[in-house]
Amino acid sequence: VKWMMYWIIFALFTTAETFTDIFLCWFPFYYELKIAFVAWLLSPYTKGSSLLYRKFVHPTLSSKEKEIDDCLVQAKDRSYDALVHFGKRGLNVAATAAVMAASK
């Protein structure tokens, strides 16, 4: 659980960092502060990632749990439909190619 919390927070940090680097790279000691922040996240003494996860991420995920579950069900249904559609299409292409090859 500890590592799950760390990697979720680190992924959010990396995503935010992609956009903030453009605007904040001129800030003095910006890169040193980023290193210190990652060290704070990793440290078993400060438990920074656990703190941020429990304070911000978990409440957000808990409040959106129903919507997330609905999206997962919809994605599962759509992926099954797409698999069937492309499977039929692939079989039609293969059958057409076989007929064309046999007719030559």
Q: What is the pLDDT of residues 3-33, one digit of tens each?
A: 999 999 999 999 999 998 888 888 899 999 9
The 10 Å Cβ neighbour count of residue 51 is 14
pLDDT tens for each residue of the chain, 104 residues long: 889 999 999 999 999 999 988 888 888 999 999 999 999 999 989 889 999 999 999 999 999 999 999 999 999 989 998 999 999 999 999 999 999 888 87
3-state secondary structure 17-84: HHHHHHHHCCCCCHHHHHHHHHHHHHCCCCCHHHHHHHHHHHHHHHHCHHHHHHHHHHHHHHHHHHHH
